[in-house]
């Protein structure tokens, strides 16, 4: 069983746990499957909109696909959540990424 299959099994076993889906998205991204990675992150955020780490990763995938408006929207939503959660480190990362969009 390869790592992606194993992560899919973890997602199926615990669909409400955000980490296995996040890990699956990162693995897909690492394997070059950006579209499926973005789909997994979108699914994750639909179920758990409070999972802050997913915002930067999804925005980066959108930006690399030339979807600047989508990336900007995700980063802005992530900034709002980071402020709400009091997470200044992630807020700084999201802000830097937003400023770097062309």
User: Quick one: pLDDT at residue 90?
Assistant: 96
Length of the chain: 102
Which CATH number goes with the domain that contains 52?
1.25.40.10
Is pLDDT above 70 for 1? no
- Say whether 75 sits in a helix, a strand or coil: helix
Domain membership of residue 14 as a residue range: 3-100
Return the closest-CA partner of residue 97 out of 75, 80, 69, 65.
75
Is pLDDT above 80 for 102? no
Return the closest-CA partner of residue 95 out of 66, 85, 83.
83
The count of domains in the chain is 1
User: Quick one: pLDDT at residue 94?
Assistant: 97
Return the closest-CA partner of residue 90 out of 50, 35, 63, 62.
50
Q: What are the pLDDT digits (tens) for 34-85? A: 999 999 999 999 999 999 999 999 999 999 999 999 999 999 999 999 999 9
């Amino acid at each position: 069983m390869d790592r992606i299959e194993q992560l899919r099994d973890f997602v199926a076993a615990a669909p409400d746990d955000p980490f296995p889906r996040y890990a699956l998205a990162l693995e897909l991204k690492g394997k070059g499957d950006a579209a499926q990675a973005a789909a997994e992150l979108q699914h994750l955020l639909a179920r758990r909109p409070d999972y802050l780490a997913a915002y930067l990763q999804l925005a980066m995938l959108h930006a690399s696909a030339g979807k600047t408006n989508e990336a900007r929207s995700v980063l802005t939503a992530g900034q709002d959540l980071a402020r709400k959660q009091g997470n200044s480190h992630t807020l700084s990362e999201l802000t830097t990424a937003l400023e770097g969009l062309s």
